[in-house]
């Protein structure tokens, strides 16, 4: 059966750029000889009345997906009960080759703050059932928030026991703050291998995302509650900055690579359908509200940032460690991590927030982290320490507007941390203006105990740092108290490893700063 573009629009819950492409042949009654739901199901970006539902048809996930060059109708259903007797919505989405037969549907007309179950069908094939949850009503001040924050999941470095544990928690939301895939291989003692070499093309990135997504524990975590996602560098290329790659590739070539990587990211994440608009940029920053309790400002720290300062010639443009005295460019006031437009947007979003807890959801460690010894000060240029004046602007603005209960969440550094954030980290009298919790890596190798101890010794505002364990952070938020529990994986080489609580820190309402509990 041939379907016109008009039919696409009739069925289109997703008005994406794919629909603007020439009409594709549609196979009305597809027959699958292999399960097309090998990548599981996911949901994301819950609103009080809607949630995004995701899947991708890929009977041969590691080799381009294995789907024909044609559209395939996918029926979706969302219900108020696990047995799908109380259907709350359903429809048909034409999954097409332009977006790797991914499905992004915004299910609307839902009730706030409650669980829903969803599933997909293509031909005779039925997907697993996913559970999701709508956001509480905007004025709901009684609600609580149970949130897990994940980052850095190198597939080769360890199994995803952390996700197995996460899927067993009763969570409202998972926030992934980047390094969802790794483009390259490094380190010794890998527990499993990437399929294929470093990705450069759209086909390469699709295969890489698909491989990560075949992991059963990752699928379980996606199927248990809605996610919000931020990318960091490895979704494209280690330590890239805007249009500049680690190896200083020609800008045109790197932008083509970045565009492919961004598209594959969209195709594999439960992002709102309108996120994909074609072109070589993609807006992922925005605000997420959880009732009147919390607002999360979701930041993109790669796409708009200024280039790294003081790069080593041997390592192209990538992040680097520098002695601060030898790199005065670091403190140029115009340098920006977010770019001018996003900085301005963030300032407005914070000014307008009536929430009790104001979360800055970003991708790395915000606290100043001096990695030097007694004689020198050494910092990484890829993190906020490479953009210290921009960090000061942000913390200063939080302080000046007396933002209610600011909490910064991040990852990237492969260790768990709890920190106090000051406008001036070198002045013990500079007031603490925000609290910070950093999640350790899900599986990527972390620093040694000695390195964490040295970090703690030189940075008194960092109260806790543990890179010995892979894992994630579970946050339980009520009106009076924010409780962060660092979960650690005992043995990353064992998918069934025990996962346990390493430490717990709290923030009390109205009192910025982390306290051990």
Is position 183 an interface residue for Ca ion (rule: CB under 5 A)? no
Q: How far is the CB of 393 from Fe ion (least distance, A)?
A: 26
d(CA 348, CA 397): 11
Complex with Ca ion: residue 107 or 409, whichever CB lies closer: 409
- Name the binder of 233 from Fe ion, Ca ion, none, CB < 5-8 A by kind: Ca ion
Q: How far is the CB of 498 from Ca ion (least distance, A)?
A: 27
Q: How far is the CB of 152 from Fe ion (least distance, A)?
A: 3
Complex with Ca ion: residue 99 or 413, whichever CB lies closer: 413
Report how many residues bind Ca ion under the rule CB under 5 A: 4
Q: Give me the residues paired with residue 117 across strands.
A: 79, 131
Complex with Ca ion: residue 292 or 322, whichever CB lies closer: 322
Complex with Fe ion: residue 317 or 350, whichever CB lies closer: 317
Report the residue from 18, 88, 145, 152 that binds Fe ion according to the rule CB under 5 A: 152
Is position 183 an interface residue for Fe ion (rule: CB under 5 A)? no
User: Does residue 200 sit in helix, strand or coil?
Assistant: coil
Radius of gyration for the alpha carbons in the chain, expressed in angstroms and rounded:
22
Is position 382 an interface residue for Fe ion (rule: CB under 5 A)? no
- Name the binder of 385 from Fe ion, Ca ion, none, CB < 5-8 A by kind: none
Is position 300 an interface residue for Fe ion (rule: CB under 5 A)? no
Q: How far is the CB of 465 from Fe ion (least distance, A)?
A: 16
Q: How far is the CB of 458 from Fe ion (least distance, A)?
A: 22
Report how many residues bind Fe ion under the rule CB under 5 A: 3
d(CA 227, CA 223): 10
Is position 237 an interface residue for Ca ion (rule: CB under 5 A)? no
Complex with Fe ion: residue 213 or 295, whichever CB lies closer: 213
Give Cβ neighbours of residue 344 (< 8 Å, ≥ 6 apart): none
Give me the phi and psi of 381, to 5 degrees please: -90, -10
Report the residue from 172, 232, 237, 385 that binds Ca ion according to the rule CB under 5 A: 232
Whether residue 381 contacts residue 327, with contact meaning beta carbons closer than 8 Å, is answered with: yes
Report the residue from 77, 165, 172, 233 that binds Ca ion according to the rule CB under 5 A: 233
Question: Pick from 131, 129, 138, 128: which is nearest to 115 by CA?
Answer: 131
Q: Per CB under 5 A, which of residues 384..413 are in contact with Ca ion?
A: 412
Using the structure block, give the residue that is written with the tokens 């602007």.
Answer: 393
Complex with Ca ion: residue 172 or 232, whichever CB lies closer: 232
Token pair in block for residue 377:
């000060």
Complex with Fe ion: residue 179 or 306, whichever CB lies closer: 179
Complex with Fe ion: residue 18 or 438, whichever CB lies closer: 438
Q: What is the DSSP string of 452-500?
A: HHHHHHH-TTEEEEE-SSEEEEEEEE-SSEEEEEEEEES-TT-TT--EE
Complex with Fe ion: residue 358 or 444, whichever CB lies closer: 444
Q: How far is the CB of 386 from Ca ion (least distance, A)?
A: 13
Instruction: Kindly indicate which of the ranges 9-17, 54-62, 232-240, 485-493 contains the residues binding Ca ion, using the contact rule CB under 5 A.
Output: 232-240
Complex with Fe ion: residue 439 or 497, whichever CB lies closer: 439
Is position 370 an interface residue for Ca ion (rule: CB under 5 A)? no
Q: Per CB under 5 A, which of residues 412..431 are in contact with Ca ion?
A: 412
By CB neighbour count within 10 A (0-12 exposed, 13-18 middle, 19+ buried), where does 324 fall? middle
d(CA 247, CA 475): 38
HEC profile of 59-76: CECCCCECCCCCEEEEEE
HEC profile of 247-310: CCCCHHHHHHHHHHHHHHHHHHCCCCHHHCCCCCCCCCCEEEEECCCEEEEECCCCCCCCCCCC
Using the structure block, give the residue that is written with the tokens 């009409």.
Answer: 23
Q: Per CB under 5 A, which of residues 418..457 are in contact with Fe ion?
A: 444
Is position 179 an interface residue for Fe ion (rule: CB under 5 A)? yes
- Name the binder of 102 from Ca ion, Fe ion, none, CB < 5-8 A by kind: none
Helix H or strand E segment including 88: strand 87-95
Q: How far is the CB of 233 from Ca ion (least distance, A)?
A: 5
Q: How far is the CB of 233 from Fe ion (least distance, A)?
A: 8
Instruction: Kindly indicate which of the ranges 29-37, 162-170, 176-184, 416-424 contains the residues binding Fe ion, using the contact rule CB under 5 A.
Output: 176-184
Whether residue 470 contacts residue 492, with contact meaning beta carbons closer than 8 Å, is answered with: yes
Is position 239 an interface residue for Ca ion (rule: CB under 5 A)? no
Complex with Fe ion: residue 179 or 382, whichever CB lies closer: 179
Whether residue 210 contacts residue 267, with contact meaning beta carbons closer than 8 Å, is answered with: no
d(CA 291, CA 278): 32
Instruction: Kindly indicate which of the ranges 48-56, 147-155, 220-228, 486-494 contains the residues binding Fe ion, using the contact rule CB under 5 A.
Output: 147-155
Give Cβ neighbours of residue 457 (< 8 Å, ≥ 6 apart): none
Question: Pick from 147, 167, 154: which is nearest to 217 by CA?
Answer: 167
Interacting residues toward Fe ion by CB under 5 A: 152, 179, 444
Binding site for Ca ion (CB under 5 A): 179, 232-233, 412
């Amino acid at each position: 059966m041939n379907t016109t573009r008009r039919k696409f629009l009739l069925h289109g819950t997703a008005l994406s750029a794919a629909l603007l492409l020439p009409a594709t042949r549609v196979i009305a009654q597809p027959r699958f000889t292999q399960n097309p739901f090998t990548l599981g199901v996911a949901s994301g970006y819950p609103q009080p009345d809607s949630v995004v539902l995701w899947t991708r048809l890929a009977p041969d996930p590691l080799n381009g997906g294995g789907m024909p060059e044609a559209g395939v109708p996918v029926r979706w259903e969302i219900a108020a009960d696990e047995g799908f007797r109380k259907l709350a919505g359903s429809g048909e989405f034409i999954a097409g080759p332009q977006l790797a037969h991914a499905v992004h549907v915004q299910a609307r007309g839902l009730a706030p703050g409650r669980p829903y179950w969803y599933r997909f069908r293509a031909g005779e094939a039925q997907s697993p059932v996913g559970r999701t949850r709508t956001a509480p009503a905007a004025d709901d001040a009684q609600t609580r928030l149970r949130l897990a924050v994940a980052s850095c999941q190198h597939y080769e470095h360890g199994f995803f026991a952390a996700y197995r544990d996460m899927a067993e928690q009763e969570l409202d939301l998972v926030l992934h703050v980047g390094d969802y895939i790794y483009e390259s291989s490094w380190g010794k003692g890998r527990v499993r291998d990437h399929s294929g070499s470093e990705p450069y093309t759209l086909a390469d990135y699709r295969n890489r995302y698909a491989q990560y997504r075949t992991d059963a524990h990752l699928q379980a975590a996606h199927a248990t509650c809605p996610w919000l996602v931020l990318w960091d560098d490895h979704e494209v290329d280690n330590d890239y900055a805007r249009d500049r790659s680690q190896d200083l590739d020609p800008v045109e070539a790197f932008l083509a690579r970045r565009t492919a990587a961004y598209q594959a990211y969209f195709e594999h994440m439960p992002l709102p359908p309108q996120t994909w608009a074609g072109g070589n940029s993609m807006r992922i920053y925005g605000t997420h509200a959880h009732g009147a309790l919390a607002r999360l400002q979701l930041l993109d720290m790669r796409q708009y940032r200024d280039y790294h300062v003081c790069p080593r010639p041997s390592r192209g443009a990538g992040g680097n460690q520098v002695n601060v005295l030898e790199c005065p460019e670091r403190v140029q006031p115009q340098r920006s991590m977010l770019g001018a437009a996003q900085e301005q947007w963030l300032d407005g979003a914070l000014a307008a927030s009536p929430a009790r807890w104001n979360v800055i959801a970003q991708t790395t460690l915000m606290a100043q982290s001096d990695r030097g010894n007694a004689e020198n000060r050494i910092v990484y240029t890829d993190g906020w320490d490479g953009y210290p004046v921009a960090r000061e602007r942000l913390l200063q603005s939080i302080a000046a507007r007396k933002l209610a209960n600011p909490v910064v969440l991040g990852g990237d550094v492969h260790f768990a941390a709890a920190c106090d954030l000051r406008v001036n980290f070198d002045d013990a009298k500079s007031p603490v203006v925000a609290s910070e919790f950093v999640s350790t890596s899900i599986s990527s190798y972390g620093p040694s105990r000695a390195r964490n101890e040295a970090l703690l010794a030189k940075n008194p505002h960092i109260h806790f740092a543990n890179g010995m364990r892979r894992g994630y952070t579970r946050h339980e938020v009520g009106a009076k108290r924010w409780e962060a529990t660092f979960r650690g994986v005992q043995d990353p080489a064992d998918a069934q490893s025990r996962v346990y609580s390493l430490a717990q820190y709290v923030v009390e309402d109205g009192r910025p700063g982390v306290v051990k509990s």
